[in-house]
Amino acid sequence: MSDVIFELKNVKKWFPARRNLGQLLSGERKWIKAVDGVSLKIKRGEIFGLIGESGCGKTTTGKLIMKLMEPSDGQIIFNGEDVTHLDKERLGQYKRNVQMIFQDPYASMNPRFRAVDVLTEPLEIHGIGKSKAEREELAAKALEAVKLTPPEDFLGRYAHMLSGGQRQRLATARTLILSPDFIVADEPVSMIDLSTRAEILHMMKEVQQSMGLTYLYITHDLSTARYFTDRIAVMYLGKIVEMGYADDLIDKAKHPYTKALISAVCEPVSGKVNQSKEVPIKGEIPSAANIPEGCRFHPRCLYAKPECMQGEDPELQEVENGHYVACIRYKEIEEMGTSWR
Ligand code: SF4
């Protein structure tokens, strides 16, 4: 069996932009390039972090992997099988293997459902368990796996009777109950109390290790990503600009955008602001309907030179073992000693 569970090959998701009268009359088309050529490989059994500011395309990438939308171009491979376009039957099998944990577990649960209903519903949908009693037994086991114990204390509770952390545990239990291979966790702790975040991530990691799962962890928060993930890809305006092993990427960031993100990070445990030298970033993220020519980061990059503003957008290239960067000046920047540390 290949050690790669997921592969995205030049995946794009473009949405048609609203047109003004002039564009309508001239027939001009504009596209919002939410995901604009993402290629990556996720290894079996790892936690892969996808990081970036809001609007960078990371959630759309998660939705493409979840098959909640079809890509405009490119290929998605899961367990060696091309799953870019699936018929209804294969989609059902796929959705059993690839599950999602949402940012807001409360919004993703029917308020009239007790925990036992939340957990047994996917089993009924997928025809798992011969009887109600068997399904309830599986529900109790799933609660034990996420440490909502004793399960009989929780099975009869409604979501509003649980704390934020307990709800996220229940949401995790619901994804586990179908024994998936792969879980997309989209900002799973961003709506949880700061004091409970580490606890929930720790629980998710324990479950991942004991069940041999693979996670895609989508977040804007590099501080949790460092402690939670094995590898990280940094996304900017629909493309990956840097990718590498978590510690390596954060300790030896090469792309000016990654450096800028890191400079603003708070230590997750102490909550202290990173005291390292700040690497600034100019302005706001541009619209995905107007991606700049040349390197798409150039209008915000303090190291931009004329050669960055023309020609092709730099491609990701491996510059050290397992460390990839999309910047034509990364070496010069390194030699200038402009590391934020
Ligand atoms: Fe900045 Fe140029 Fe590197 Fe782009 S290619 S990140 S503009 S230095």
Predicted pLDDT at 280: 66
pLDDT at res. 63: 96
Three-class SS state of 269 = coil
The closest-lying atom of ligand 1 relative to the alpha carbon of residue 309 is: 7
Extract the tokens encoding 191. 């709506």
Residues of the chain with pLDDT under 50: 266-278, 339-341
Nearest-angstrom CA–CA distance, 272 and 266: 5
Task: Tell me how far apart the alpha carbons of residues 183 and 274 are, in angstroms, rounded to a whole number.
Answer: 31
- Measured CA to CA in angstroms, residue 230 lies from 59, 93, 98, 240, 247 at distances of 19, 28, 19, 17, 8
Ligand 1, pocket-test mutation among 239, 293, 308, most atoms within 8 A of CB: 308
The closest residue, in CA terms, to atom 3 on ligand 1 is 327
Nearest-10 crossing angle of helices 132-145, 194-211: 120
Provide the pLDDT for residue 191.
Answer: 85
- Would you state the pLDDT for residue 2? 83
Protein residues with CB under 6 Å of any ligand 1 atom: 255-256, 295, 297-298, 301, 303-304, 308, 314, 327-329
Residues 100 and 174 sit within 8 Å (Cβ to Cβ): no
66 CB-near residues (< 8 Å, 6+ apart): 98, 100, 184
Q: What does pTM read for this prediction?
A: 0.91
By most ligand atoms within 8 Å of CB, the mutation choice from 327, 334, 335, 336 for ligand 1 is 327
User: For residue 315, what are the contacts with CB-CB under 8 A and spacing of at least 6?
Assistant: 326
Token pair recorded at residue 1: 């069996």
What's the pLDDT at 195? 83
| Cα gap 117→148, rounded to integer Å | 15
CB within 8 Å of 295: residues ≥ 6 apart? 301, 304, 308, 309, 313, 314, 326, 327, 328
For the chain, domain boundaries: 4-267+276-335
Q: Nearest residue CA, atom 5 of ligand 1?
A: 327
> 162: Cβ–Cβ under 8 A, 6 or more apart, which residues?
115, 154, 170
* Tokens encoding 279: 């690497």
Protein residue with its CA nearest to atom 6 in ligand 1: 327
pLDDT digits (tens, 9 = 90+) for 223-275: 899 989 999 999 999 999 999 999 999 999 999 999 999 887 644 434 444 44
CATH number for the domain running over 4-267+276-335: 3.40.50.300
CA 254 to centroid of ligand 1, rounded, Å: 10
